[in-house]
Amino acid sequence: MFFDKRSQKNTPAPAVAEPVAPVGQVSEVASISSSKGGRAVIGATVKIKGEVHSEEDLTVEGQVEGTIVLKSNELVVGSSGRVHADVTAKAVKVEGELHGDVEASERVLITVNGSMRGNIQAPRVILEDGSKFKGSIDMNEAAPVKSFGVVSSAKVAASGDSTGE
């Protein structure tokens, strides 16, 4: 059924069917979880201060300050998103602004309009041309390193010592 736009001039429809905090209200602790495989969205007018834990992918278009933990899921900081938090996630994509340390088990992507200040620890890091980044990158050994047939001396020494002969 279609609605007449003239009859809804002063009653905007909510973007999300879930309860929404009043604009400008700051929450102490937020816990977001629902059905598997879903995507939670923190809207552009929402501000969260505290810890965010989720069992689903999360997109931040608003502001988050504190800690974000998505151990098996992806965080997307949208173009209007402002995150001042330490992040632990499977993957992180920054289209907006992120200040804080990031630990990702798969990858971190900072897009052309994205800006990040902090340290990154992830096996794959992608900085698109035009992105802004200030911090350090530690590409840990979560993924095997290909060395074109060259075996490092540390691995040879460790394998030689393990036989006991």
Query: pLDDT per residue over 110-161, tens digit each?
Result: 999 999 999 999 999 999 999 999 999 999 765 444 445 554 444 444 444 4
Does the pTM surpass 0.75? The reply is: no
Please give the tally of structural domains in the chain.
Answer: 1
Residue 9 within a domain: no
Q: Is the pLDDT of residue 163 over 80?
A: no
Q: What is the mean pLDDT of residues 89-109?
A: 97
Residue 24 lies in a domain: no
Residue 71 in domain: yes
Residue 32 lies in a domain: no
pLDDT tens-place string over residues 3-26: 544 444 454 444 444 444 444 444
Domain residues for the domain of 42 are: 38-160
Query: What is the per-residue pLDDT for 128?
Result: 96
The answer to whether 48 and 65 have CB atoms below 8 angstroms apart is yes
- Would you state the pLDDT for residue 38? 83
Contact 139, 122 (CB under 8 A): yes
Look at residue 19 and tell me if it is in a domain.
Answer: no
